[in-house]
Structure 1
Amino acid sequence: MDHPRPPVRDSWWAPISVDLLLKVLNVTILHPFVAWIIPLCFRAEHQAWNTNPMVVSITWAIFVTLLWMGNVISHKIAYGMHREVDLSEEVIVITGGASGLGLLIAEVYGMRGATVAVLDIAELESTEARGITYYKCDVRDKAQIARVATEIERDLGTPTVLINNAAEVVGKKLLDMDLEEIEKSLTTNLLSHFYTIKTFLPGMIRSETGGTIVTLSSVIGHLGAARLTDYAAAKAGVTALHKSLAAELQEYPEIKTILVTPGQLSTPLFHGVKTPNAFIAPVVEPIEVAKEIIKAIDLGLSDHIGMPLYARWVDWYNVLPVGLQKIARKFSGVDSGMETFIGRRGTQQSEKNGNLI
């Protein structure tokens, strides 16, 4: 399935980014297995235990192993044990699943034998998607959600996984937006999460196998950005909602929560937005985010998924002195990225006119 994509640099080094370098390091010298291979190789060459190469390589291997163990222990302390996941028994509900990231996750699970319900006001793009049942539903409408929930329960069974993926981007300055556009954006991006969780969470709690709630937020919810006042406010609220809900669900350890805070995705939702620095803030491919979400769901884990690298460290931005924050915003270009915004409506209009973007 081909979607119009944001413009990218044509140079050969365009794919190179901090995230790519870190990915290479994580499967080489930062991986415990590889780190221990090095002193073993030295030992195979009959190096004495007290030689510099042996001492340095063993010290490095111990350091990397301790970091890996610390990360595992930290995750267990934060999120507890996993829940058992049997895809043949899972009923997965995905809002905004008719296109983009939502459809990608739906297709993967459909092909793997899970039961998938896609809720969207737009028609399903792929009519041949296997294992997917489409329900036309405007997630801003509580009555429609209640009706569709009854139909899903009747047709597919009790939902065990809820992926709140529906999103709306207006892309205008606050003073240029109508009140109706603001209300639509906030309802789609924030209030719909309350509606769906209130609807589907009770069934997960009653289920013997528990369930998983996936919240699609955004790094913009931490930073804010010009021309994204509505979207940023909603995503900040979604992040706060997720964290508060996770705290409330501690008495239900079989319910897992996954928070996803990606940077710019190469989907039609943000078509036309140019990343200011492809090395530090690369555009994220939906398949990469989908892989991490699917991995966490399959393992029955709670998690916080941030992509690319800066999305996992963005909280430190607020620790900086306000002067440095101003400089960082100017340097990053976060407030100018939306100047070339086209969005989903623009791509749809171009397709109607027979134009390629």
Structure 2
Amino acid sequence: MSCPVVKTNLVDDEPRQTFEPLLRKIPAQFPLHASIPQEDKWQSYITLDLIVRVLSYTFFHPWVSWVVVLCLRAQYTAYGAPEMRIATAWATLMSALGIWGLINERLAWGRAREVELEDEVIVVTGGVEGLGGLLARTWGMRGCNVAVLDKKVGGEGEGREGEGEQEGVRYYKCDVGDWESVERAAKRIGEDMGRVTVLVNNAGMVEGRSILESSAGDVERTFRTNTLSHFNTIRAFLPHMLAEKRGTIVTVSSVLGHLGAANLSAYTASKAALLAMHSSLVAELSQNPDAEDIKTLLVTPGQMRTKMFAGLQTPSSFLAPVVEPVDVAKEIITLVERGESGEIALPLYSKWVQVMSVLPVGVQMLVRRWSGVDTAMAKAGLVRGKGSVGEKRG
């Protein structure tokens, strides 16, 4: 409430009081249209992945298809009526595809193993931040035995303050690209927690340079972190799983391992090597009688919203949306805890990207030009010159 101000009129014989509020009226002009950033508009949340997901739980779901048949019968629709025949045929087709999908997964991956989280010892490489950090902290909060291997542990100004246990997770400073460092960490984890049964190979780094700008040291550093680290950790922890006769190995690669990209030659080559390494690992485990319950997961995500590719623009938020790390983490956690093998490819296009290799070469080049996969790094200003340091994830 404003307080009045008393003024005296000196012209008249008798003083006269007038009241004026202390608060001044300030004219305000509101914009006719609110300025909403493009990424915050509701249309940006509608993607091909979302549409396919909704359809898979409705129109293409066997149970929903049979519900339609039951609804028609509830209306006394004759069995010979065209709509009844179409609905029955569709429900039968969806059921057949669903059954074949289950059979196909069983033939490919075998039966699931039993998983008791309190009995599992989980190792996550590159688990200080990003996807690895989400996985480690989620399992840690759920009471699992989690160990993180990362060079950033104890790093000045970043990562964890030092080795030890935080948020239910034990952190070990380790260069996963160095065998002796991994061997020492494996020994300490065995003493602290016991035999490792789940290994998530997530550590990675990127060098945004062209082939001509890349030195031998750049390429070697990228392969040591992205590729050689997988060999080191598998050599260190797979004997634990064979002794326990159970386990899960998660290989985090990238959709760029299938595509390649300009100014990312070392990164894409190191990720492509992981695809071949994972296939070899699956083949070797299938020949070992003690590895029947050792499961494998191959993860090939598209562009994730992490520090590694911050600022990179996707060519189409509808067809190729940026993947949230939490969505990838959720898929990994689900399959690991179910004790299943499999492949995780998000978003949808990454599941079918290998189809490009059978297309005519001219069509492939048109798709690459439209997608901007070869110009994205330069447009985002992420191409580095000689002597600069790449972004690391572990």
> Displacement, 1:126?
6.8
Q: Write out aligned runs for 1:40-189 (5 A).
A: 40-123=70-153, 125=159, 129-189=166-226
Partner of 2:274: 238
Q: 1:142 to 1:346 in 2, by over 3 A?
A: closer
Name the CA distance, whole Å, in 2 between partners of 1:54 and 1:155.
Answer: 64
Q: Which residue, out of 344, 354, 363, partners 1:324?
A: 363
Percent sequence identity is: 47
> Displacement, 1:347?
12
> Displacement, 1:254?
1.1
Q: 1:30 to 1:346 in 2, by over 3 A?
A: farther
> Displacement, 1:130?
2.5
Aligned residues: CA RMSD: 2.0
Q: 1:162 to 1:8 in 2, by over 3 A?
A: farther
Q: Which residue, out of 305, 313, 317, partners 1:274?
A: 313
Local SS of the residue matching 1:227: coil
> Displacement, 1:346?
10
Name the CA distance, whole Å, in 2 between partners of 1:196 and 1:35.
Answer: 47
Q: 1:322 to 1:140 in 2, by over 3 A?
A: same
Instruction: For 1:192, give the aligned amino acid.
Output: S
Contact kept? 1:171, 1:341, Cα under 8 Å: no
Q: Which residue, out of 253, 270, 283, partners 1:217?
A: 253
Local SS of the residue matching 2:250: strand
Post-superposition Cα deviations, 1:235-292, rounded to whole Å, max 9, x if no partner, equal: 1000100011101100321111100001000011111111111111111111111111
Q: 1:70 to 1:126 in 2, by over 3 A?
A: farther
Instruction: For 1:176, give the aligned amino acid.
Output: E
Contact kept? 1:39, 1:58, Cα under 8 Å: yes
Structure 2 residue runs without a partner (length 5+): 1-36
Instruction: For 2:281, give the aligned amino acid.
Output: L
Instruction: For 2:91, give the aligned amino acid.
Output: A
Give 1 or 2: higher helix fraction.
1
For normalisation by structure 2, the TM-score amounts to 0.83
Q: Which residue, out of 291, 295, 303, partners 1:264?
A: 303
Contact kept? 2:254, 2:300, Cα under 8 Å: yes
Structure 1 residue runs without a partner (length 5+): 1-6, 349-357
More deviation in 127-136 or 219-228? 127-136
> Displacement, 1:336?
1.4
> Displacement, 1:129?
4.8
Contact kept? 1:8, 1:274, Cα under 8 Å: no
> Displacement, 1:341?
4.8
Local SS of the residue matching 2:99: helix
Local SS of the residue matching 2:79: coil
Partner of 1:284: 323
Contact kept? 1:212, 1:258, Cα under 8 Å: yes
Contact kept? 2:205, 2:390, Cα under 8 Å: no
> Displacement, 1:219?
0.6
Q: How many aligned residue pairs are there? A: 340
Partner of 1:353: none
Partner of 2:348: 309
Q: Which residue, out of 218, 240, 258, partners 1:203?
A: 240
Q: 1:219 to 1:72 in 2, by over 3 A?
A: same
Instruction: For 1:273, give the aligned amino acid.
Output: L
> Displacement, 1:307?
0.8
Local SS of the residue matching 1:162: strand
Greater CA radius of gyration, 1 or 2?
Answer: 2
Name the CA distance, whole Å, in 1 between partners of 2:166 and 2:314.
Answer: 32
The structure showing larger relative contact order (alpha-carbon pairs under 8 Å, at least 6 residues apart) is 1
Local SS of the residue matching 1:140: coil
> Displacement, 1:296?
0.8
For normalisation by structure 1, the TM-score amounts to 0.91
More deviation in 15-24 or 92-101? 15-24
Name the CA distance, whole Å, in 2 between partners of 1:151 and 1:126.
Answer: 18
Partner of 1:16: 46
